[in-house]
């Protein structure tokens, strides 16, 4: 038998397969490095009351409600302003109205709805949100528009197997006078 070959043992009291020592050592090391998460390790995901505002649609535009994953409930006006830790799914309007906007202004969700990774650190309205106001948005796909002369051509970006795309996003809290 060559080193590393697996073969059934024969004889009284022998059961199963024989594995050489070096193979067992390699297996043990792998098991130590890769710990399977226990059910208790995963935090419970809560859904905010505002999550009911979401209505599925094939064409979501800025100003529409989307389900968003965050790590704190206070972002969507948690009860009593208490900051709770842990993942929360809540609805937010797509399009950023910065918290420093005047409360009498009409919210313009089309003005800032796309924070590109290449320029997010250049704009003050986005840069200040990066440390603590990050979230995740899951979608089936999105359209990227390519200008071809005077014409704009939409391209639908999605996974072939219909897995959801998850975007990194930024959020802010703003309350108008209404």
* pLDDT the model gives residue 48: 65
Q: State the distance between the two ends of the chain, measured CA to CA, in whole angstroms.
A: 82
**Residue 153, pLDDT score:** 92
CA distances from 101 to 14, 35, 112, 149 (A): 77, 47, 12, 36
Helices (H) then strands (E): counts for the chain: 2, 9
Closest C-alpha to 77, from 68, 96, 90? 90
Note the pLDDT of residue 151: 93
Would you state the pLDDT for residue 23? 41
43-102 per-position pLDDT tens digit: 666 666 666 677 777 777 788 888 888 886 444 444 445 555 678 888 888 877 766 665
Q: Which residue has the higher pLDDT, 161 or 43?
A: 161
Residue 4: pLDDT band (50, 70, 90) is very low
Identify the top-confidence range among 14-23, 67-76, 151-160.
151-160
Residue-averaged pLDDT of the chain: 68
Q: Which CATH number fits domain 43-170: 3.90.1680.10, 3.40.50.2300, 2.70.98.10, 3.10.450.350?
A: 3.90.1680.10
Q: In 30-150, at which residue ranges do the beta strands (DSSP E only) sit?
A: 46-47, 65-72, 85-93, 134-139, 141-148
Give the predicted TM-score (pTM) of the model. 0.58
Q: Is 94:60 a contact under the CB 8 Å cutoff?
A: yes
What is the residue extent of each domain of the chain? 1-35, 43-170
Cα separation, 86 vs 36, in Å, equals 21
């Amino acid at each position: 038998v060559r080193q590393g070959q697996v073969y059934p043992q024969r004889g009284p009291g022998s059961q199963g397969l024989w594995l050489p020592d070096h193979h067992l050592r390699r297996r043990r090391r792998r098991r130590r490095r890769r710990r399977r998460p226990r059910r208790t390790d995963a935090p419970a995901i809560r859904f905010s009351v505002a999550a009911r505002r979401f209505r599925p649609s094939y064409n979501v535009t800025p100003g529409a409600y989307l389900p968003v994953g965050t790590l704190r409930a206070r972002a969507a006006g948690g009860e009593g302003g208490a900051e709770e830790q842990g993942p929360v799914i809540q609805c937010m309007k797509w399009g950023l109205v910065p918290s420093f906007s005047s409360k009498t202004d009409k919210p313009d969700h089309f003005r800032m709805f796309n924070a590109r990774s290449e320029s997010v650190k250049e704009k003050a309205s986005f840069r200040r949100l990066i440390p603590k106001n990050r979230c995740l948005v899951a979608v089936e796909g999105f359209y990227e528009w390519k200008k071809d002369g005077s014409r704009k051509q939409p391209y639908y970006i999605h996974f072939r197997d219909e897995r959801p795309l998850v975007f990194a996003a930024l959020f802010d809290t703003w309350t108008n006078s209404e």
